[in-house]
Amino acid sequence: MPELPEVESLRRMLLESARGRKIVAAAIREPRLRRTVADDFIRKITGRGIDAIDRRAKYLLLRLSGAATLLVHLGMSGSLTHRGKDFADLEFDPAHDHLRLELDDGSALVYNDPRRFGLMKLVDSFELDSVQELRGLGPEPLEDGFNPGYLFRATRRRRAAIKNLLMDQRIVAGIGNIYACEILFRCRIRPGRAAGRITRREAGLIASHTKRVLANAIGDGGTTFRNYRDSRGQPGRFAARLQVYGREDQPCYACGTPIKCRVLGQRSSFYCPKCQH
């Protein structure tokens, strides 16, 4: 599933290529996504300009003229590409091009999603903070609100595994399975350790490495294992820098011990049994 770095990378690319454009037409080939696209979606979105593009957690926010916002979640396998005449779409099966927004320069924003777990929802911009998907989210990990003091307080008396706490969107918004594993490896903390056992010093390490790992991943365009592609249809490059995720039984880059994998919260968690404690 695309996480914060993938969505932030996508946001920055679309900000350069799609901001200022006008949606002149729209087409829905398959409305049955995670939630069915509303019947009046085409009527309400056509004619609006793309004024700005923001992100909250793993959601992309296309700020449209007329105080409307297109809320986009890529789900498990979705991609939102900006396709012009030079776009190479060989990676995309047209059968999964579920929604298309035609822009005034002849290009198009196309939502492709083989598994259809994504979300495309048009909402009133003034009510954005109260919509179900964004309500109750924790601080953004790259902003000042996510700091050692905040994280240390959030872990007190918590029996949940520290990795599960980092993935709890109510605690911190946007971190998923890949980056939680990578952050904890760099902190030398096992993913299954109870959050309440994290020391103040370790909370500082987690906060620091979270910002560093996410920033590096954004710089590399995110991580691609299967489906994720950026707005140009290109895969993310951070996979080459992963230390533990997806490396079960392969030697740890730091000590040579085989990487282990255990299930926490129904998600595979990768760690080095020697380096992490």
Residues with a catalytic annotation lie at 2-3, 58, 267
Q: What is the DSSP string of the chain?
A: ---HHHHHHHHHHHHHHTTT-BEEEEEES--BSSSBPPTTHHHHHTT-BEEEEEEETTEEEEEETTTEEEEEE-TTT-EEEEE-TT---TTS-GGGEEEEEEETTS-EEEEE-SS---EEEEEEGGGGGGSTTTTT----TTSTTS-HHHHHHHHTT--SBHHHHHT-TTTSSS--HHHHHHHHHHHT--TTSBGGG--HHHHHHHHHHHHHHHHHHHHTT-B-SSS---TTSPPPBGGGG-SSTT-TTSBPTTT-PBPEEEEETTEEEEE-TTT--
